[in-house]
A and B are shown apart, each in its own frame.
Chain A
Amino acid sequence: MWTYNKVLQYPINIKCPNPKLAKFIISQYGGPDGELAASLRYLSQRFGMPDQKSKAVLNDIGTEELAHLEMVGTIVHQLTDGASIEEIEKAGLGAYYTDHGVDVYPQSAAGTPWTAAYIACKGDPIANLQEDLAAEQKARATYEKLIDLCRDDPDVLDPLKFLREREVVHFQRFGEALRGVQDKLAEKKFYMNNMKCNDNSNYNMMNSNMNNACGCN
């Protein structure tokens, strides 16, 4: 289970509100490659992992993503907090303001509400970990675009750079987890989910599927 620590993972103190930037950055809150999608993706996928290392990696990274969700929410909040209605309108947030005021709503930069369709749980550890690797790269790329857009405000830039770095580290960890899973699935006898093995069960099918999945025979 989870406990909450009343502290941000990395400090955020934005001195000048800038709703224009908030409009972009909110994508990392509730967009397709955002932190909400990341945390729910990993925390949902961990149940189906075949070895301890991949379970631990998904569990612990999924947990850190929740802390990142809070950071991105904080950035959006501080960028809109205290902005005038004119500034909000000028930033193109008139439609957002109509439905959400200055609350932080999980949506993409283009305004699409967060959807579970952003994440996959494929029932296949290899496919899931490959998705996670891609997700980290997409998140890194998104942060780099945001860093371009926020180049003039060091208060915003600093936490964004931290978040970008974490994506790179997570990519590394998922790569290591994937190699572990491939080794595990290549073992001669591998019982998925403690599945009972008898001659008529689908164990044999399962086993051959697994071998195919990791490219081993």
Chain B
Amino acid sequence: MESNDENRNCMYNQNNCQYTPQGINAAFGYNTAEALTDDLNCCNSCNHEECMQNRNRIRSEMMKQIKCLSFAVVDIAQYLDTHPDDRKAICLHKEYCNQLEELKDKYQRIFGPLSIYYPCNKWRWLEEPWPWERSDFNVDL
């Protein structure tokens, strides 16, 4: 894969990185998107109580991960603005961006758009509550 080639350039062993991961930023080392959506295969649209609960649980979990990764990107980008030559931070940034992109794509394909730049066959932008309306999927687990 091309990302492997890219990662080969990462100098994880370099010790001059001054970036201090903030909170949850430090916790990301694996990709959760795959595991989360695998559970959805059998019950993406049915209305059984159990399936709906499962769907909401997965959705909350995915949303939480998206928020964590978004914040991680914001925080590390600000650090990189003043430390543009920090190779290790650049590697972390790339890792978070890739994970975020993949996870957001999966989330939006199932649960609808997070921004107006996600194409849908029908206008799903109006379907969900807004973030200031205490919607279930914005409450942290």
Q: Which residues of A contact B (CB under 8 A)?
A: 1, 46-47, 52-53, 55-56, 59-60
- The residue on A at minimum CB distance from B128 is A52
Closest to A59 in B: B130
Question: Is B132 in contact with A56, judged by CB distance below 8 angstroms?
Answer: no
Number of chain B residues close to chain A: CB under 8 A = 8
- Are B126 and A47 closer than 8 Å at their CB atoms? no
Residue B1 lies at the interface, judged by CB distance under 8 Å to chain A:
no
- Give Cα distance in the complex from A1 to B126, angstroms: 17
A60 to B130 CA separation, bound complex (whole angstroms): 12
Can you list, as one digit per residue, whether each of B122-141 has a CB less than 8 Å from chain A (1) or not (0)?
A: 00011100111000000000
Q: Secondary structure at chain B's binding surface: helix, strand, loop or mixed? A: helix
- Inter-chain contact count A-B, CB under 8 Å? 12
Return chain A residues, CB-CB under 8 Å to B116.
60
Q: How far is the CA of A95 from the CA of B70 in the complex (A)?
A: 43
A interface, over-half SS: helix
Q: In the complex, A187 Cα to B116 Cα: how many Å?
A: 29
Inter-chain CA distance A129–B127, complex, in Å, is 22
A207 CA to B85 CA in the complex, in Å? 61
Partner of A53, one of B70, B126, B131: B126
Q: Distance in Å from the Cβ of B30 to the closest Cβ of chain A?
A: 24
C-alpha gap A56/B131 in the complex (Å): 12
In the complex, which of the residues B70, B127, B130 contacts A55, with contact meaning CB atoms closer than 8 Å? Answer: B130
What are the interface flags for B61-81 relative to A under an 8 Å C-beta threshold, 1 for contact and 0 otherwise? 000000000100000000000
Q: List 7 tightest A-B contacts by C-beta distance, closest first.
A: A52-B126, A56-B126, A55-B130, A47-B132, A56-B125, A60-B116, A53-B126
A56–B126 alpha-carbon span in the complex (Å): 7
For B130, list chain A residues within 8 Å (CB): 46, 55, 59
